[in-house]
Amino acid sequence: MKGTVMKADVVVIGAGVIGAQTAVQLVDRGLSVVVVDPGPPGGEQAASYGNLAWLSSHSILPPASPGVWRQVPKWLFDPMGPLSLRLGHLPRALPWLLRYLASASTEEKLRRTAGHLRALLKGSPALHAEMAARTGLSHLIDANSGLMHVYRDRAGYQADALGWTIRRDLGITCEEIEADDLARRQPDLSPDYRFGIFVPEAGQCRNPGAYCAGLAAHAERFGAQRIAARATGFRAAGGRLQSVVTTQGEITCGAAVIAAGAQAKALAAQAGDSVPLESERGYHFMVEGDAGLAGPTTSLMAGDRKVVVTRLETGVRCGGQVEIAAADAPADWRRADILRRHLAEMFPGLDTSQGRVWMGSRPSMPDGLPVIGAAAGLAGVVHAFGHGHTGLVGSARTGQLVAQLVSGETPELDLSPYSPARFR
């Protein structure tokens, strides 16, 4: 369509899980929608493809915590550690990193963020189940699986005690699992793990990429159009959006949603909001095969390694950890091999000699909260990005909130904690 002009009520920029959920909600309201993305929905370019599939309504703590800075040097020098940093990128990343540490420097700040994330994520597994039922994707959502955190011993758990206390204070049930019970419930897990916490309210997706693609396909079946293009900016008149400019031409529209994940920063700036969005890269290593593979019965996170192991319909996936690097820096596949080694140590019965590797970018804000809300400088533009480690679980409610905003309904949640104005 290069050079030509299309028309739509709403342009959704980005076909990751945030854009796909939003598109479904918008077409349901009878709006005409164009989804713009240079890649396929839920394709390997998107974080929504390769994540760990947790529908973790209890993931309400930002990755940083009070005093975490003391552990950073140890992590950086540990080749198996949960954090890596490309030194060349440090000058650019430093302001974000300092903000990231500062935003979780006290218990009060941590509790505030946890409260805001809880408001967004509470009930999310059920919301995903409803969405999956509406879109013919129920086979991809298990809203009742529960999720597990495992530790080598109770002392390891107690080192995370503040986070668990905050969760309990916010009404999240967390069941303790002693060694014998853990061995019974996770027979393939290394006996090095002797304590666990089970969170019954959480769920999991069985194939995040397929879920995202399925949502986008549903939106298309109900009238959404998809353009393989990159959005490059906006055209405005009198402070109001007129069109979205893309590499394939312009799309005249009444509203646009920026759901471009880790690449949303430049578009947000064009809409009047300068936001500290950074890419927190993550890798996965995946042993492909059927359910006969050794691995977790319930998806779990190892507290000492900061990695998650999930059984998907396509195999067993291990991922997590964080790499801070320039968005366009080549992948460091040694990070994926580190995940392979963690997986082999946690599940000794699993053949990890072969597997698929992937790298993607979490769209992360330094305070651990996403950016959802109207743009300051361009009426008609709505932000929906920055979900960091919780974009899959948070996508169902985000799609609802954004559709409510775009269609002039009162959002079901007070959006001020997620407003881009918090960075002004």
Ligand X SMILES: Cc1cc2nc3c(=O)[nH]c(=O)nc-3n(C[C@H](O)[C@H](O)[C@H](O)COP(=O)(O)OP(=O)(O)OC[C@H]3O[C@@H](n4cnc5c(N)ncnc54)[C@H](O)[C@@H]3O)c2cc1C
**Binding site residues, ligand X, CB under 6 A:** 13-19, 36-39, 45-48, 51-54, 230-231, 259-263, 282, 284, 319, 360, 362-363, 385, 387-393
Pairing status of strand 83-85 against strand 315-324:
parallel
Angle, CA 330 vertex, CA 249 and CA 261 arms, to 5°: 45
- Pairwise CA distance, residues 315 & 106, whole Å: 40
> Which DSSP category does 247 fall into?
T
Least spacing, CB of residue 387 vs ligand X, in Å: 4
Q: In terms of CB distance, is 182 or 267 closer to ligand X? A: 267
CA atoms within 13 A on the CB side of 26: 33
Alpha carbon distance 185, 300 (integer Å): 11
Is 315 or 391 the residue whose CB approaches ligand X more closely? Answer: 391
Q: Which is nearer to ligand X, 18 or 166 (CB)?
A: 18
* CB 44 to ligand X: min, Å: 9
The closest of 169, 141, 113 to 55, measured between CA atoms, is 141
**Cα–Cα distance for residue pair 335/280, rounded to 1 Å:** 13
Minimum distance of ligand X from residue 325's CB (angstroms):
13
- CA-to-CA dists, residue 394 to 43, 190, 295, 354, angstroms: 19, 31, 26, 32
Q: How far is the CB of 143 from ligand X (least distance, A)?
A: 14
Q: In the structure encoding, which two tokens stand for residue 57, read together?
A: 């309504």
Q: Are 116 and 107 in contact (CB under 8 A)?
A: no
Query: 61 vs 194, which CB is nearer to ligand X?
Result: 61
Supply the minimum distance, in Å, between the C-beta of residue 36 and ligand X. Answer: 5
| Residue 189 vs 244, nearer CB to ligand X | 244
Q: In angstroms, what is the minimal distance from the CB of 159 to ligand X?
A: 22
Nearer to ligand X, 259 or 300 (CB): 259
Q: Which region, left, alpha or beta, applies to residue 326 given φ > 0 means left and ψ of -120 to 50 means alpha? A: beta
Q: What one-letter code names the amino acid at 214?
A: G
